[in-house]
Structure 1
Amino acid sequence: MIGRLEAALDRRMLLGMGAAAGLGAMLPRLARAAQQPELIPQVRAVVERWVGPGKFPGMVASLGLPGREPEYVARGSEGFNDADPVTADSLFRIYSMTKPLTGMAAMELVAQGRIGLDQPVADVLPEYAHMMVQDEYDGSITALHAALRPITMRHLVTHSSGIGYTIIQQGPIKALMEDKGLVAGQISRMKLPGLFRGEPVKGLDLFARGLAQVPLVADPGTRWSYSMGLDLMGRVIEVVSGRPFDAYLQDTIFGPAGMTSTGFRVSAADAHRLTTNYAAVGGVLAPIDEGETSIYLDKPAFPFGGAGLVSTPRDYDRFLRMLAQMGMIDGVRVLSESAVRMGTSNLLPPGVLVPEMFGGPSGFGAGGRVGQGAESGLYGWSGAAGTVGMVDMAQGLRSQIFVQFMPPNAFDLLPEFQKALKADVLAILEKH
């Protein structure tokens, strides 16, 4: 259920935001609009309309012009029972917006020559040398055939590996993965029907070994299927670098990029900054993970490279701005230019297409959707609790919205946001 709902957000939001940001050669004029007293009045109106009693406790949206700090719109509080004002420094569960960060970390290793984009994963993790594949997608887990080709690093970062995902798969393979603790991140201490994903296996190494024992849902390189490929890439990075995956991200991306509030765990001292996550039930928001008692205060079972990070609007904008500036921010080189260009380009194997429900037709890069045609230059992804982040690599424009509710298409907030964002960008162009 969660996978389908997240897919709907990916389709509706990234395509819509792509239309807003992919406005062609006129966008460089946005840089001259930086002196405007307000860049996003329509977005502000949407945020204000959706924040309040009976709606959302708070949310943050932003628009960043090339090379500049973004304009933030922040309204409301961090929860209905949390009076702290929500700000650009409030902590949000970004779920699948973790994937681009893991993907870019992998691209840096490719750029350094430490792994190859088309290198078999089995070269690093030998247990993946002889994978079996379901004869029928989501069918029997005993009617299998040997994989036609090895899983490669390219396959992991583009969801073309054939690895399954408990938020997507159905039937016996979903049950098998859940029984083995091969689940996608964490949501709440409450074991809620439809949201509880099972108890995850303890340790990224054990996760990787267990996943190798599960049949693939498709032959590698033949089908785009949303997967735990980026979670497995975390283990690849760990083995290749010789450092724990979470420490590697901290030392190579978060620290150099000045992302001071991004990580897989929230400290007790920062619990007051963590927003509340809600489940939308019959149009009513019910708290499922409050900041002061959040499951994110505990050490996670392992660092989920596909869905495990908590971040802030300010931090994630720094990531997007760093990408837009080809790996540089504030005079610091975080990633090589070649890694950024590679990761934000279309890396899909020939003949593999992104399904329409996930934003296709489009390309796919390192953990994020890549626009094509009129959307050329766009790169970004969304999260299962209502967060979206994108960057126009051609023009340097970044946009985000941060809110916390599941499923993220339970309300019309996000489509309204995309419409308002487009209106604001067009208004800036008309004036300049």
Structure 2
Amino acid sequence: MGECPGRSTPMAARSQMLQVRHGLAIRSGDGMATRSSWTPSVSTTGPGSIAAAILAAKRCTPRKNIDVATWATWMSRSPWMTPSLTTGPLHSRSLTCCRPTQTFWNTCAMKTRRIEFTWSGRRSITAAGWLCSSGSYVLALSGSLLALMVAAAAPEPIPRAAPEAVGLAPARLREATDLLSGFVAERKIAGAVAAVARKGKLAYLEPVGVQDLVTRVPMGERSIFRIYSMSKSVTAAAVMMLLEEGRFALNDPVSKYLAEFKQVRVVSPDAAVREPAREITVQDLLLHTSGLNHRTSDEYTRAQVRSRDITLPRFISNIVRVPLMEDPGVRYRYSEATTVLGRLVEIWSGKPLDVFLDQRVFRPLGMIDTGFWVRREQRPRLAAVYGPSHDGGLALIEIEVVPFTKRPALLEGAVGLVSTVPDYLRFSLMLLNRGELNGVRILRAKTVDTMTGNSLSDPVLKARGGAMGWGLANVNVVLDPTGLNYPANRGEYGWDGTAGTIFWTDPAREMVTILMTQSSPANPDSLRQRFKTLVQQAVVD
């Protein structure tokens, strides 16, 4: 059976061989985005316009509708194929059978089937195929379809500009680089990546130092960092997307969706445990006024509330057993609330948190290196975490029992993500642009305005000091710059991560600044404030 009915002459020189073989493991970060029994592995034989795919269909019907975005997601876990398939017409030509490997072809039987692909719910394209005796399925995709998929794969780059073209002084930015290089030379950090964008254009992107002091791999523009609490803003964006869809109201009690929260109690100043004055609301979780505690608190550590090897439902069961630190709504207390929000995202959307973020945030924004763990092909770009050693240098720190190179059982909306400076810049520019990036809108402008302004009540704000408010985006919001120890503008917002990452967004100056290191403590010798000062001083208009 060495021939294919109606097969055209193979165009090997221009072919792109994509093989998808049968598998049982369903892991969205390894190339799957849906609960299908098809597991892909991708191999390429050269750039070109014809795709031949071998789909394991042992438990799938011969005819199956597949969303093209899902299909492309299966094939997307490489830099050249990261789809954002939301626009553009389909121009399908006659579909061609591309001959797979001879070994596979010899197992092929001649039963013709058809599979339909839908482009973003708008149009369909049908590919002829041959159901094989092995249970696999050979597909032939037209050259125009693959070309369209590849064209849609790469995210549109952030435009670049010389610093002076966007009102930044190159000399000051060079001083900022020198500062980072000095910290590396003095063995205060191993390396860093920093970026400054202004007026919609990237004017500064500088890696310094190394990712790893043993391998001496240099920091690169796409080095990967554990961003810890900068994950909170991403989870908050997901929550607000679902709010826009009417899945909940901000004043809804959390127990409406997580019944376990009906059993929550609060500890009184005299150590007595009682019922709270009112229930925790969704807004309390976003504002950290729920009474929940921090993940590293003594109370949660003793109760073993949090571990990366437990599931989100188990985490919820654990956290409600520990009494609240105070009644909901009376105090800002930075806490595990955002991981609870991650579980709510799953309930409201009906999808695992990693799948929802991938489909609704990361892919639309082109955040190709952001997720809850580092995939095998990304590992060479993962920076190690260092802290002070006894000899005045740096020592490697194993910051988590379950490393970020493995898929965690606990998808932590509060602290679980890894990302890169370019990826997080895309997210930050989306917020600065009031919900939109490169023509892709994921949030309404008014929603982002609400997210990035102060939402704390006056009593809670006063108790926090008054200079810095808190927004629903899980960000600090500057209300009184005179009360800070670094230069800032009123209305500026941002947040940081416990392993040395931070971002600032200044709407008045149309500017985003990002600094990422992997350091514990996170801010050695006030690096953040010193870097931010130099960037602020670089603004000349």
- TM-score, normalised relative to structure 2: 0.64
Give the Å deviation of 1:107. 1.4
Q: Distance in 1 between matches of 2:467 and 2:168?
A: 37
1:363 to 451, 461, 469: 469
Against the structure 1 CA distance between its residues 84 and 111, is the aligned structure 2 distance closer, same or farther, given a 3 Å change threshold?
same
SS in 2 for 1:82: coil
Instruction: Please say if residues 284 and 329 of structure 2, whose CA atoms lie closer than 8 Å, have aligned partners that are also in contact.
Output: yes
Q: Identity of aligned pairs, percent? A: 32
Query: Within 5 A, what are the aligned runs for 1:255-404?
Result: 255-282=363-390, 283-289=392-398, 295-353=403-461, 361-366=467-472, 367-374=474-481, 375-404=489-518
Q: Which residue of 1 aligns with 2:208?
A: 75
Which is helix-richer, 1 or 2? Answer: 1
Against the structure 1 CA distance between its residues 157 and 290, is the aligned structure 2 distance closer, same or farther, given a 3 Å change threshold?
closer
**Residue 148 (1) aligns with residue 272 (2):** no
Instruction: Please say if residues 369 and 423 of structure 2, whose CA atoms lie closer than 8 Å, have aligned partners that are also in contact.
Output: yes
Query: Within 5 A, what are the aligned runs for 1:35-74?
Result: 40-52=173-185, 54-74=187-207
- TM-score, normalised relative to structure 1: 0.80
> Deviations for 1:81-114, whole angstroms, at most 9, x for unmatched residues?
1332212210011111111111111112222221
When Rg is computed on C-alpha atoms for both structures, the one with the higher figure is: 2
Structure 1: give runs of 5+ residues left out of the alignment: 1-29, 184-198
Give the Å deviation of 1:412. 3.6
Q: Distance in 1 between matches of 2:186 and 2:460?
A: 45
Q: Which residue of 2 aligns with 1:190?
A: none
**Residue 216 (1) aligns with residue 324 (2):** yes
> Deviations for 1:194-225, whole angstroms, at most 9, x for unmatched residues?
xxxxx446100111122122210010000111
> Deviations for 1:65-89, whole angstroms, at most 9, x for unmatched residues?
0211241121122121133221221
Instruction: Please say if residues 211 and 218 of structure 2, whose CA atoms lie closer than 8 Å, have aligned partners that are also in contact.
Output: yes
Give the Å deviation of 1:180. 4.2
Which is strand-richer, 1 or 2? Answer: 2
Q: Which residue of 2 aligns with 1:104?
A: 237
Compute the RMSD of aligned alpha carbons. Answer: 2.4
Q: Distance in 2 between matches of 1:133 and 1:256?
A: 41
Against the structure 1 CA distance between its residues 259 and 350, is the aligned structure 2 distance closer, same or farther, given a 3 Å change threshold?
same
Give the Å deviation of 1:272. 0.2
Counterpart residue identity of residue 285, structure 2: L
Q: Distance in 2 between matches of 1:373 and 1:55?
A: 31
Q: Which residue of 1 aligns with 2:301?
A: 178
| Count of aligned residue pairs for this structure pair | 370
2:288 to 159, 184, 189: 159
Q: Which residue of 1 aligns with 2:354?
A: 246
Structure 2: give runs of 5+ residues left out of the alignment: 1-162, 482-488
Instruction: Please say if residues 182 and 200 of structure 1, whose CA atoms lie closer than 8 Å, have aligned partners that are also in contact.
Output: no
Counterpart residue identity of residue 275, structure 2: A
Counterpart residue identity of residue 370, structure 1: V
Give the Å deviation of 1:400. 1.1
Using CA pairs under 8 Å that are at least 6 residues apart, name the structure with larger relative contact order, 1 or 2.
1
SS in 2 for 1:85: coil
